[in-house]
Every structure is written in structure tokens, then in C-alpha cells.
Chain A
């Protein structure tokens, strides 16, 4: 039985909006030209490729269903209760071996034995403290001590070979398509792309894809029979946890913006265009909200929401739905606390725009205030909205981790970078040190945030009119000229 969580629905709405916007932009040359500039940025396109990989994982994780329960003999199950209360996603289905392959407790990356000694009874009746074998990690090896290295190397090489194959195929198809498009020989097309003579930064996309494949190939090849990133305290596979965290990060980064955007845009433009008491009220509203330190306002709101959720357990059929409600509420709260900055920017820009001739012309023609704001001002402040949306994303992903650490973030049962770090934070104090969960969470978060930052820089450079045409001259040349 498929099930659509609230955040899933919003994710799909967001994608529909993005597709509609893409269609709209692709038919208007003046809008397209800015996006072309984004496409020329090598760093931006490499970042977009990485982001696409993350988004793919996040989307797979947004298709939820409740698996059908096996009919138990002797018990009749009615149709409504014939489904498990556990909510799974398409990603869970793909990663079933990782999800279900839990161990007893910590095990190091690619290990074949647990990380902690246990007392076991030997065949001759005596007891010994040994590191027991893992149930899943390297379980296929008969003599781990001898076979382990050979097996790992063999699987890594196999993964690399597959990755090279896939990479070559993908590049080949891309070059072939380009060659057909330009009507030039294959070799010429390859040369053009490789030397970066195309307007769109194809070489950055292809190189990044190849790098992603080269990393993913061995991981996939090894993940079938090992815990590539080890296991955490309760024996869950860390690779599975990090992949699941991606969706939470993306949802926080995007839904929050989606939630705050209508308020910020409507109020910002209204305050700037209408002026008078509307302006006063809106300014008062955002100054008040802004004057409360963000973390404290979020803390207060989340604590209150927690009380609401806890006192109404009957609202939610499954634990996943409850956790999802909390995730959505967190997004809304973050949205409420973060719209003020954009609102202020839009107000200032609208103040400037409303004095321009084209707005005055519209007024002279008798266009209504609503029409002027919607048709004439809104399109001309969209670049500010876009820049602030992409710039906010990385900050929100980072904020999620901090908030979850403080205990006012996502539900503890939601897998996220924040909850991973929170459960793993004492592991560095252990002896011997357990480092892999923390490192995995931080590395994945770093890559996601770095890609988002680079992409948002590319978007800002292309859309910000203040930066357009500005050239920075080196100090030495500056003196000479």
C-alpha cells in the first residue's frame, strides 16, 4: 500500500513547481540567458552534478509504502490492517540487505569481526574473550584472516571496473549526442567537450559524474557483503544511515524555503509598494520576529509543538507519520523564523522599483495595485528570491544538525545527520575510538553543503545585477592602469 507522507507531498509539489518554472524559463530568451551563465560555470555545474546525485537518493527515499503483512495462518487479517505499521521507502527496498543486515554492536568499516570482545564458550567447554564474527559483514569468508584482503581488493577492482565501464558508456553516449547535435565527427566533439570549448560546462559534468561513479562503484560492490562504513552502537549499517539522512537534509533545506516564500514575497512587496500603515505593520511584524534570537524562538516553538504532538497521539497512524509531522513542523518553524531577511530585501527593492517609469506608466494606465505588484514588480525581484533561496539551502542543512544536537530538531527516530552526530558524539571518548559514524556523517554533510554553496555562488554570480560586468583587476595591473 503506497502512502504519501506530508513532506513527500510537498517534495512532489516542489518538483512540479521546478518543472513548470523550467518550462516557463526555457521559452523566454531573456530568462534563459542568465541560466546559460550558470551553465557556463564549471564549479557550479560540477556542484549541480553532485547535488543531482543527492537529490536522486532523496527522491527514492520519498516514495513511501507500507509493506503487506504475511497472512498468519489461523488469523484472518482484514483489509485495512493487512499492512505493516512500518513505513518503508523505495530506497529502503533497494538497500534491504543493508537495512536488515544489522549486527550486535559496533564494527569497524569492512570488518569481519565485532569491535568489542565477548565471552563465548569454546567447543571444549572453556570460556574465552574473543572478537566474535559478524553475522553479515564478510560472512561469506571461510578464513577471514587469509581471505579478507584478497576478497576486498577483488571486489574493489570489480567495482572500479564496472564504474569505468559505466563511465565510458555514459561519456560515449553524451559525446555521441553532442556530435550529432553539432554535426561534427565524434573525435572533434570529444575534443571540444574535453577542452571546454562548449558554452555549457559539459566537461565539468562528465568529470564529476566519472568521479562519482568511481567512488560509488567499489562501495556498491563491497556493500553487498561488508559494512563499508561499519556499524553503529546498535549494529545498524552506517552507510544505510548516511543515505537515509540525505532526504532529511534536503527536505529541511527545500521545504522550509517553500513554506516561507509566499509570506516573504507577498509581505515584502506589499510593504514596499503600498507603504503607509501596511508598511508599518509589516515592518513591526518582522522587526519583532527578528529581535527574538533565532535558536530560542525555534526552541520555544519546537517545545510547544512537541507538547501538541505528544498530547494527541491519536492523530497519527504510524510512528513514521508522527516523525514526519514533526519534520514538517520543524520546516514551518524554521520558515517562520527565516523569512524576515528576504522580506526586508524585497521591501527595499520594491521601494526602488515603484519609482521607476514603467511602474508609473502602469499606474497611469489604471492598473490595480494587485496587478502592478503581481505582473510588474514580482518578475523584477525574482532574481533576489532565487538567490536567497539557493543561498539559504546550505545554511538550513547545517542548522538541522545543530538543532537536532540541541534536541529541538527532527524526531529522534528520524534518521538525519543531526541525529547521527548526536548519537555518535560520545564515541570519540570511547577507548578504543569509534570514529566511523561521525566521519561518515560529517563527510556526507560536507559534500552536500559544499556542493550547495558552490552552486549557489554560480547562481548568484549569474543573477546578481550588481556583480554583472564587474571585473576584478589584480593589484599590480590596477596600479599600472
Chain B
């Protein structure tokens, strides 16, 4: 088991190197730092001195991968590639365009992001699995039919509509909760309840339908017929047999997103003014702060790889037949 985990972590290294090379190519080779400087300072009237100053301030004035002007190890280390990309591996993210330390920002913003993402994840999972079991229990009846119709309708609605509509109705018309903002401690619940509900509702349609399909696939199998044949009630069959056996496909989709919960939700956080990582990313995209976007890409990939590893480990917990070696 330990050996497996270590080997999987070693496999992750080439993937992270690939991600790093890709972002490096996107951010520094497709467009030179000169292009970026011109973009940030305005396309037209911009002097070479201003561009040079912009680059020096951000450390973009060095050569891309090989510094012929430096001595010894400096040939490699005093380059953009080493300072901006390689340092990501030791989680040294450098500074954002406004001069703040990106690593510090990420640490402080993780909390609010998790405060939304974790309840959404847990509540959403509970609600959708319950609904899906309900639909599977009443399968091939009118309740099932209209339940699926409702799911398709719910998943055809833009997530923007849920957010804009929910915010308008609950906050503006009914005045139940503040429109946006955030506070520390227990006071945060006031600000979080609406975004949590909205993100949950927005995800119900597609997940419920997906779980229903999984359950129906399991219900068609022979062991279910055996369970019924020995006289188990339909509820016992659903909870003791179908739900347990459906865990593998459910875990495949669920566990991988757990680490990504840290990243927060882009839309919800920016609409509700919650100072999490999602709104941080959106602000960086809008301000074209490439250092922040680059860091978030790297963190996202690291978390995704951790998620894949957790998924494989979780299989051993629910299915004794799975052996990792």
C-alpha cells in the first residue's frame, strides 16, 4: 500500500513537469514578456523604457531558459524559467502584480472557499443520492418519469440564472440574507447560506440523473434478483445491495473533486463577494495578473492528481476485490 502510494506520487512528477512546461510555453513563449508589458501598459503610446521598467519590476527581464551573461549555476537559475516555473514545485509562487505574496493570499483565502465548497459538496451528495434512490425506487412510474423530466430541465438552466435569480429573489425581494459580503467566525453563516443553497440546486439535475442511471444499471443485475428471491424488501435491496455496489462508479466521480474543493467556485464567490480562491482567480483573470493565474493552474493540477490518487485508494475501502500493487 505504502509502496503503491509512493509510486503513484512519483508518477505525478512527470505530469506536473508537463503542466509546468505547458503553462511556461503559454505564458512566456507564445507571447514574449514584451508583448505582455505592452498589453498591460496600453498597446499604443508606450516607450521601451516603460516596458523595460515593467519587466524589471516583475523579474521578466531575464532570458527565458539559458542565461549566457551569468556565471556557473546562474546560467540556469537566473532565468525566467527557473525563477517563475521551477520554483512553483517548492510552492514558491512569487508576488502578484500588486506586490502581494501569492502564497500568503492563497493561505488566507482557502478558508472562505472551503466554507462554501465543503457544505455544498456534502449536502449536494446527500440530496442527489437520496433523490436518485427515490427515483430508482419508483422506477418506470410517473414519479420517475417526471423526476427525470425535472432533472433534464434543471440541468438545462444556466448556472448564471440560478445565481442571479436566487440572489435577486432571496436577497433583494425577500431581504432574507445580505446580498453579498463575508464575515469571519459564526457570523459567516448568514452570508454563506444562500450561495451554498444555490450551488447545491444548480448541481442537482445532472448528478441526480447520473446516479439514477448507475442505480438502475445495478438493479438490472443478477445479485439483485437473488436478493429479491430470498424475500428481501425493495428498500433493503436498495440500501444494502444496490447502494453498496454502486459505490465504485459514484466514488470515481466524487473523490476526485474533494481536493479541488480548495479552489473554490469561480462564479458563486465572485457574485457573492466571498474572499475565496475562486474570486481571487477571477480577479486575477480580469486584471490579467499572469503570475496568479499561473500559480492557480499549478495548484489545480497538484490537487487533481491528489484526487486521482485518493480515488484509487478509496476503491480499496469499498471493494475488497480491488488490490493495489
Contact = CB atoms under 8 A, between A and B. Distances in A.
Interface of A: 284, 287-293, 295-297, 299-301, 303-304, 306-308, 310-311, 313, 394, 398, 401-402, 405-408, 417, 421, 425, 428-429, 433, 438, 442, 445-446, 449-450, 453-454, 457, 470, 472-475, 478-479
Contact of B285 (A303, A442, A478): A303
Contact of A425 (B164, B263, B266): B164
Given A296-B293, A311-B35, A398 B159 contact: yes
Contact of A479 (B27, B228, B297, B300): B228
Given A296-B296, A428-B172, A284 B156 contact: no
A474 B234 CA distance: 11
Contacts of A421: 158, 160, 164
A394 B156 CA distance: 8
B69 interface: no
Interface string B37-68: 01100010000000000000000000000000
Contacts of A289: 22
Interface residues of B, number: 58
Determine the main DSSP class of B at the interface with A.
helix
A475 B139 contact: yes
26 contacts: A291-B19, A292-B297, A292-B301, A293-B297, A293-B300, A297-B297, A304-B30, A304-B31, A307-B31, A308-B30, A311-B39, A398-B159, A401-B158, A405-B160, A406-B282, A406-B285, A407-B286, A445-B158, A446-B161, A449-B157, A450-B156, A453-B155, A474-B141, A475-B138, A475-B139, A479-B228
Interface in B273-299: 281-282, 285-286, 288, 290, 293-294, 296-297
B35 A406 contact: no
Contacts of A445: 158
Given A450-B153, A472-B220, 7 more contacts: A299-B285, A304-B26, A313-B43, A406-B285, A446-B156, A473-B139, A478-B219
Contact of B161 (A295, A299, A406, A442): A442
Given A288-B19, A442-B161, A300 B35 contact: no
A307 B39 contact: yes
Nearest to B36: A307
A291 B23 contact: no
Contact of A300 (B14, B23, B158, B228): B23
Interface in B85-144: 137-141
Contacts of B31: 304, 307-308, 311
B324 interface: no
Interface in B12-34: 14-15, 18-19, 22-23, 26-27, 30-31
B285 A398 contact: no
B216 A472 contact: yes
